[in-house]
Amino acid sequence: MRYDTEIACTSYLTLHEQKLRVKSFLVEYFGTAHFFLVETGFSITAVQEETAFFEWINAGRPNRTTKELFLFKWMEQERRSGHFLVKCSFFNRSEDNSRQKQFEKIVLQMKEHMEHPILTLDITQKEKIIEVRQFHHRADGKIGYGLYPYAEDENGHWRENLGVGLWIYREDFHLLYEGIKEVYPRKESGFEDFDDTGMNFISKSEWKVILNHWSKLAISNPSSLEFLDYVSRWVIAALEQVDEIAIEGNL
| 144-162 average pLDDT score | 85
Query: Is there a single domain that holds both residue 132 and residue 61?
Result: no
Query: Is there a single domain that holds both residue 75 and residue 6?
Result: yes
The listed range with the strongest mean pLDDT (4-18, 62-76, 225-239) is 225-239
What's the rounded Cα separation, in Å, for the pair 43 and 22? 11
Answer with the one of 46, 79, 114 that is the final residue of a domain: 114
Query: Is there a single domain that holds both residue 132 and residue 245?
Result: yes
Query: Is there a single domain that holds both residue 67 and residue 149?
Result: no
Query: Is there a single domain that holds both residue 70 and residue 174?
Result: no
Q: What is the pLDDT of residue 79?
A: 47
Residue 81 has pLDDT above 50, yes or no: no
Residue 108 has pLDDT above 70, yes or no: yes
What's the rounded Cα separation, in Å, for the pair 145 and 198? 10
| 76-85 average pLDDT score | 56
Q: CB of 119 within 8 A of CB of 156? A: no
- Residue-wise over 216-225: b if at least 16 C-beta within 10 A, else e? ebbeebebbe
Query: Is there a single domain that holds both residue 108 and residue 127?
Result: no
Answer with the one of 70, 88, 114 that is the final residue of a domain: 114
What's the rounded Cα separation, in Å, for the pair 46 and 87? 14
Q: What is the pLDDT of residue 33?
A: 63
Query: Is there a single domain that holds both residue 62 and residue 102?
Result: yes
Residue 80 pLDDT grade (very low, low, confident, very high; cuts 50, 70, 90): very low
What's the rounded Cα separation, in Å, for the pair 112 and 225? 22
Residue 30 pLDDT grade (very low, low, confident, very high; cuts 50, 70, 90): confident
What's the rounded Cα separation, in Å, for the pair 87 and 71? 8
What's the rounded Cα separation, in Å, for the pair 106 and 108? 5
Count of structural domains, the chain: 2
Query: Is there a single domain that holds both residue 28 and residue 103?
Result: yes
Q: What is the chain's mean pLDDT, rounded?
A: 85
198-209 pLDDT, tens digit per residue, is: 899 999 999 999
What's the rounded Cα separation, in Å, for the pair 90 and 153? 59
Residue 12 pLDDT grade (very low, low, confident, very high; cuts 50, 70, 90): low
Q: What is the pLDDT of residue 228?
A: 94
CATH number at residue 46: 3.30.310
Among the ranges given (70-79, 123-132, 229-238), the one the predictor scored with the smallest mean pLDDT? 70-79
| 107-127 average pLDDT score | 78
Alpha carbon 134 to its chain's center: 9
Q: How far is CA 2 from CA 64, 134, 230, in A?
A: 6, 34, 44
Residue 218 pLDDT grade (very low, low, confident, very high; cuts 50, 70, 90): confident
Residue 114 has pLDDT above 80, yes or no: no
What's the rounded Cα separation, in Å, for the pair 51 and 120? 37
What's the rounded Cα separation, in Å, for the pair 214 and 210? 6
Higher pLDDT, 246 or 153: 246
What's the rounded Cα separation, in Å, for the pair 168 and 176? 9
pLDDT above 70 as % of the chain: 92
Query: Is there a single domain that holds both residue 110 and residue 127?
Result: no
Residue 113 has pLDDT above 80, yes or no: no
125: left (phi over 0), alpha (psi -120 to 50) or beta: beta
Among the ranges given (77-81, 118-122, 178-182, 235-239), the one the predictor scored with the smallest mean pLDDT? 77-81
Answer with the one of 114, 135, 150 that is the final residue of a domain: 114
Higher pLDDT, 137 or 90: 90
Query: Is there a single domain that holds both residue 162 and residue 53?
Result: no
What's the rounded Cα separation, in Å, for the pair 99 and 90? 10
Query: Is there a single domain that holds both residue 130 and residue 105?
Result: no
Rounded to two decimals, what is the model's pTM? Answer: 0.63
Residue 230 pLDDT grade (very low, low, confident, very high; cuts 50, 70, 90): very high
What's the rounded Cα separation, in Å, for the pair 141 and 169? 9
What's the rounded Cα separation, in Å, for the pair 19 and 55? 25
Q: CB of 217 within 8 A of CB of 175? A: yes
31-53 pLDDT, tens digit per residue, is: 766 789 999 888 999 998 899 99
Query: Is there a single domain that holds both residue 73 and residue 154?
Result: no
Domain that includes residue 24, residue range: 2-114
